Chains A and B, each alone.
Chain A
Amino acid sequence: MPSVNESVNPDFGLFCNPESRRAEGFSVALGRTLRQRPKLIHWEQVLAGDWEERLGEVPRFLRLESPGRNWRVEQRLLLLGAAIEDEEISHNWRRLPAEVVTSLPDEPGRVWPMRQWFLAWRRTLENLSQWARQHGLTSRWFCPPEDVACMFDKWKCQIALDAAGIAVPPALGLPRNFDELWELMRQAGRRRVFLKPCHGSSASGVVALEAGKNDIQAFSTLELTETANGLELHNNRRIRKWRGAAGVRKLVDAVCGERCLAQAWVPKAAQSGSPFDLRVVVIGGRARHVMMRLGRGPMTNSQLLGGKGDVELLRQKMGDEAWMRMLGLCESAMTRCFPLSLYAGLDVLVESNFRTARISEVNAFGDLLPRVLHEGRDTYTWEIEECLRREPVQVSSTGA
């Protein structure tokens, strides 16, 4: 690590879980680029309400990082969410009362009520947004909290992209159970759909469902467990197939409680025998890092260990024109829908014709791509540079 002058007030404030790989990755990049450390503002403190007095001077740049993978933060969010009334209360998205949340154990893989979690996350972001407005700090965000909140609502995000003329997999709606999904599929004339929890991340809770002439089946990483307290949902690393109407219905009924977006299943292109999607990180309006994520089934997600594909080979196969059009699509998605956000990680489907592409998701925290470089620099380094370029200011650097 380069030597760091602790007396300098940091220019970068990071809302994060300090132990996370994300916080570490950004800190390392900042140290290398500007010989600074960021000021870490713990989500746990934010949720406890005592962060402002700890903050001191507000850094020039404020960056929001994922609150995930920390049980204390997760539990606090679920607790906060238990007290927030849902504007979609009539939909009966799954909830857990506060007294149950308090006694929950940390169970990795267990799916907690995602809507409840989101209500609290959105409230937290709204509070930060309000705080920044009150103090005239709105221009300091890497990505404004409102954008992050929108990206954490796949339904809202889909509508925004679609309205802006960005190619997306067509949406069918927000079914509350299997019967509603079936009706939506019938109306839309679709036999193959993805169900994606609106507030989930990675492949958590995602279901790929297809109906043939005489058969129906679904793929998911979910496991359903009957307990004395009802049905529990767990995520697995293994993709499981559910064949037949009874099983599929049970799975869909369960996952729909998490508020799922039903999207048409667009056939994906494949490389070396595996269907894939792309993670494209757009930073400062330009599509930069591209990672190709291979799947062993319909799900493509790096956490499912399908491995990485060969981006250069894909580029050749698509041809420069289609490749540039795909990158342009990603850039348009950001400039049209999230012009104030410095960066985001987009999930891109290349269709099986290898020519056309669609944006399937926009991830606020989709920039954790270790060892993926664009012109020699990782995502964090590009973000820091673009942030300075966007607003040229004198930044203290002990290295200069």
Chain B
Amino acid sequence: MISEHAAEWLGYPVKAFDAEVSKNGVADYAKTIHRLAIDWDANPDLPTLFSRFLADPASAQTPAIIIGQFHGDDPSLGSEEVVQLLVSARDKLPNLRGIFIGDMVTEENEVSWIIQSDVAPLLTAFPNLEHLRLRGTAELTFGGRLGHEKLKSLTIETGGLPPRLFREVMESHLPALQHLELWLGTTSYGGDVTLADVQPLLAGGLFPAMNHLGLRDSEIVDQIAVALASAPVLARLESLDLSLGTLSDEGGQALLDNPALKRLKRLDLHRHFLSEEMMAALRKAYPGVNVEEPEDSDTDPDDRYVAVGE
């Protein structure tokens, strides 16, 4: 369950730009990221809100933008309109480096029901974009042409990542990509990515600039942990994030036995099913490892569930 909106992103504080705020405008476009979201009763609508946001010439300073609830009370509406609005505003947002579409909480819509669209036009319209973050993968596609010279981080948050989308990312051209974060989710919600799908990523031939890899919210995280044992990709990583999934002592032991993890600057395993003993052993081996938010390690393997399951 996702229960809170982003409070900060890319090192900036996030503030809502909604119906009420938009009446008065905002003071600080340059040092604050604004989240544009329409109310559940869809008043005013998103184009109105967006035009109010752009009405102040200072909006040209906007470093990044977050789009929250874009569909009012009807979760069957997708993000096409959001993509169109952003694309048509490209000349008014010359400093835009980050786009996050879908910052919604479960109370607003189930993550598995957030309907995205073809977001490739964004990448074309913003050649200087550095950060792209998307929540919800229903109907999400890059149109088979995911390519961008400057994109540094790509984050896809979902309760179930469709294998076709995972493959689109694997087949992309992102030479500057440093930070790759994919939530794999659960098979109950279409998260059918298998270890075989993940192997090319671990083999290290993809994303030459990548130094952070997040495979989060995953049901196959134990298998991934085992497969990491001889993974060439580790030679390049500074940071590894396997949080929010069903990591148990099986995966924990594999991580413990993996000397290549010693050189990581950051290892995030929080929200897991590790035992107390394994948590202690991991802390000893990797000081600074995040093993917070333990779930009950005695949970039957079939009953372990990911943090965001739908």
A276 to chain B, nearest CB (A): 10
Q: Give the interface segment out of B68-76, B205-213, B227-235.
A: B68-76
Contact B5 A191 (CB under 8 A): no
Q: Give the interface segment out of A76-84, A175-183, A208-216.
A: A208-216
Return the CB mask of B133-158 against A: 1 if under 8 Å, else 0: 00000100000000000000000000
Which residues of chain A have C-beta atoms less than 8 A from B107's C-beta?
A: 267-270, 275, 298, 352
Contact B20 A355 (CB under 8 A): yes
Return the CB mask of B111-141 against A: 1 if under 8 Å, else 0: 0110100000000000000000000001000
Indicate whether A212 sits within 8 Å of B110 (C-beta atoms), given known contacts A191-B73, A191-B74: yes
Contact B1 A210 (CB under 8 A): no
Q: Does A274 contact B (CB under 8 A)?
A: yes
A349 closest partner in B (C-beta)? B107
Contact A191 B75 (CB under 8 A): yes
Partner of B138, one of A210, A213, A297, A356: A213
Return the CB mask of B1-17 against A: 1 if under 8 Å, else 0: 10111000000000010
Partner of A273, one of B4, B40, B74, B108: B4
Residue with the greatest number of chain B CB neighbours at <10 A, chosen from A170, A212, A264, A270: A212
Q: Does B249 contact A (CB under 8 A)?
A: no
Which residues 255-275 in A have Cβ within 8 Å of B in the complex?
264-270, 273-275
Which residues 267-303 in A have Cβ within 8 Å of B in the complex?
267-270, 273-275, 297-298
Which residues of chain B have C-beta atoms less than 8 A from A170's C-beta?
A: 41
Q: Does B18 contact A (CB under 8 A)?
A: yes
Which residues of chain B have C-beta atoms less than 8 A from A211's C-beta?
A: 75
Residue with the greatest number of chain A CB neighbours at <10 A, chosen from B107, B113, B138: B107
Contact A270 B40 (CB under 8 A): no
Q: Does A190 contact B (CB under 8 A)?
A: yes
Contact A273 B16 (CB under 8 A): no
Range for the number of chain B residues in contact with chain A: 20 to 34
Return the CB mask of A226-238 against B: 1 if under 8 Å, else 0: 0000000000000
Contact A190 B73 (CB under 8 A): yes
Which residues of chain B have C-beta atoms less than 8 A from A267's C-beta?
A: 40, 69, 105, 107-108
Q: Does A353 contact B (CB under 8 A)?
A: yes
Which residues of chain A have C-beta atoms less than 8 A from B16's C-beta?
A: 353
In the assembly, what is the distance between CA of A298 and CA of B1, in Å? 11
Partner of B105, one of A189, A215, A264, A270: A270
In the assembly, what is the distance between CA of A228 and CA of B69, in Å? 47
Indicate whether A273 sits within 8 Å of B75 (C-beta atoms), given known contacts A210-B110, A215-B113, A267-B105: no
Indicate whether A353 sits within 8 Å of B18 (C-beta atoms), given known contacts A213-B138, A266-B40: yes
Contact B40 A189 (CB under 8 A): no
Q: Does A199 contact B (CB under 8 A)?
A: no
Q: Does A115 contact B (CB under 8 A)?
A: no
A90 to chain B, nearest CB (A): 31
In the assembly, what is the distance between CA of A192 and CA of B40, in Å? 10
In the assembly, what is the distance between CA of A47 and CA of B113, in Å? 51
Return the CB mask of A156-177 against B: 1 if under 8 Å, else 0: 0000000000000010000000
Which residues of chain B have C-beta atoms less than 8 A from A298's C-beta?
A: 107
B305 to chain A, nearest CB (A): 12
A212 closest partner in B (C-beta)? B113
Contact A352 B105 (CB under 8 A): yes
Which residues 39-84 in B have Cβ within 8 Å of A in the complex?
39-41, 69, 73-76
In the assembly, what is the distance between CA of A384 and CA of B142, in Å? 66
Indicate whether A273 sits within 8 Å of B76 (C-beta atoms), given known contacts A213-B113, A213-B115, A298-B107: no
Contact B138 A192 (CB under 8 A): no
Which residues of chain B have C-beta atoms less than 8 A from A191's C-beta?
A: 73-76
In the assembly, what is the distance between CA of A212 and CA of B76, in Å? 6
In the assembly, what is the distance between CA of A275 and CA of B4, in Å? 9
A263 to chain B, nearest CB (A): 12
Residue with the greatest number of chain B CB neighbours at <10 A, chosen from A170, A189, A270: A270
Indicate whether A274 sits within 8 Å of B75 (C-beta atoms), given known contacts A266-B40, A267-B40, A352-B105: no
Which residues of chain B have C-beta atoms less than 8 A from A264's C-beta?
A: 40-41, 73
Which residues of chain B have C-beta atoms less than 8 A from A355's C-beta?
A: 20
B284 to chain A, nearest CB (A): 29
Which residues of chain A have C-beta atoms less than 8 A from B39's C-beta?
A: 351, 353
Which residues 68-110 in B have Cβ within 8 Å of A in the complex?
69, 73-76, 105-108, 110
In the assembly, what is the distance between CA of A350 and CA of B110, in Å? 19
In the assembly, what is the distance between CA of A170 and CA of B112, in Å? 26
In the assembly, what is the distance between CA of A165 and CA of B237, in Å? 58
Which residues of chain B have C-beta atoms less than 8 A from A352's C-beta?
A: 5, 105, 107-108
A390 to chain B, nearest CB (A): 37
What are 20 A-B contacts defined by CB distance under 8 Å? A170-B41, A191-B73, A191-B74, A191-B76, A212-B110, A213-B76, A213-B115, A215-B113, A217-B110, A264-B40, A264-B41, A264-B73, A267-B69, A268-B107, A270-B105, A275-B106, A298-B107, A353-B20, A353-B39, A356-B20
Binding site for A on B (CB under 8 A): 1, 3-5, 16, 18, 20, 39-41, 69, 73-76, 105-108, 110, 112-113, 115, 138
Those 6 A-B pairs whose CB atoms lie nearest each other, nearest first: A270-B3, A212-B113, A213-B76, A267-B107, A267-B108, A268-B107
Binding site for B on A (CB under 8 A): 170, 189-192, 210-213, 215, 217, 264-270, 273-275, 297-298, 351-353, 355-356
Further contacts, 13 of them, CB under 8 A, given A217-B110, A353-B20:
A189-B73, A210-B110, A212-B75, A264-B41, A265-B40, A267-B40, A268-B107, A269-B107, A270-B105, A273-B3, A274-B3, A275-B3, A353-B18
